[in-house]
Amino acid sequence: MPLEGEWARADVFRVLREVGSDYDLDWPRIAEIYDFDLACLEDPQGTVSVTAWHGVFEYVADALGDDSVMFDLFNNVDIGCFSIFDYLFSCAPTLRDACLGWMKFIPIRTNAYRLTFEETETGGYVEWPILEGRGEWRQNMFARVGWATQQLEHALDTQVPPVLIELATTAPQNTSNFQKKYQGRLKFGASHNRIFLPKSLLSSPLRQSDSHLYEIIIKAASEELDRFGQLESPLTRIANAVATNLSHGECTLPHISAKLGMSQRAVQRLLEKEGTSFRKLSEEIRRSAAERYLRGTDLPMKEIAYLIGFSELSTFSRAVKSWFGMSPRKFREGSTRAGASGVHSRKKTGGVRLSKATRAVSSNQNNSLRKTSSARAE
Burial of 65 (0-12, 13-18, 19+ CB in 10 A): exposed
Q: Looking at the predicted structure, is the pLDDT value of residue 341 above 80?
A: no
Please state the separation of Cα 66 from the chain's center in Å.
20
The stretch 269-278 carries a mean pLDDT of: 86
Q: Which residue has the higher pLDDT, 114 or 316?
A: 316
pLDDT of residue 369: 28
Question: Which pLDDT belongs to residue 338?
Answer: 58
- State the average pLDDT over residues 169-176: 94
**Mean pLDDT in the chain?**
83
Q: Give the pLDDT band (50/70/90) at residue 233.
A: low
Among the residue ranges 3-12, 188-197, 200-209, 264-273, the one predicted with the least confidence is 3-12
Does the pLDDT at position 337 exceed 70? no
Question: Among 29-43, 49-63, 201-215, 224-238, whose mean pLDDT is lowest?
Answer: 224-238
Give all strands of the β-sheet with 193-198 in edge-to-edge order. Answer: 116-119, 123-128, 193-198, 164-167, 186-188
3-state secondary structure the chain: CCCCCCEEECHHHHHHHHHCCCCCCCHHHHHHHHCCCHHHHCCCCCEEEHHHHHHHHHHHHHHHCCCCHHHHHHHCCCCCCCCHHHHHHHCCCEHHHHHHHHHHHHHHCECCCCCEEEECCCEEEEEECCCCCCCCCHHHHHHHHHHHHHHHHHHHCCCCCCCEEEECCCCCCCCCHHHHHCCCCEEECCCCEEEEEEHHHHCCECCCCCHHHHHHHHHHHHHHHHHHCCCCCHHHHHHHHHHHHHHHCCCCHHHHHHHHCCCHHHHHHHHHHCCCCHHHHHHHHHHHHHHHHHHHCCCCHHHHHHHCCCCCHHHHHHHHHHHHCCCHHHHHHHHHHHHHCCCCCCCCCCCCCCCHHHHHHHHHCCCCCCCCCCCCCC
Q: State the Cα–Cα distance between residues 238 and 281, nearest whole angstrom.
A: 9
Q: Which residue has the higher pLDDT, 146 or 236?
A: 146
Q: What average pLDDT does this structure show over 12-29?
A: 91
The alpha carbon of residue 210 and the mean position of all alpha carbons in its chain are separated, in whole angstroms, by 31
The count of other CB atoms within 10 Å of the CB of residue 301 is: 17
pLDDT tier at 324 (50, 70, 90 boundaries)?
very high
Q: How confident is the model at residue 365, as a pLDDT?
A: 29
Q: pLDDT over 70 for what percent of the chain?
A: 84
Q: Which residue has the higher pLDDT, 56 or 376?
A: 56
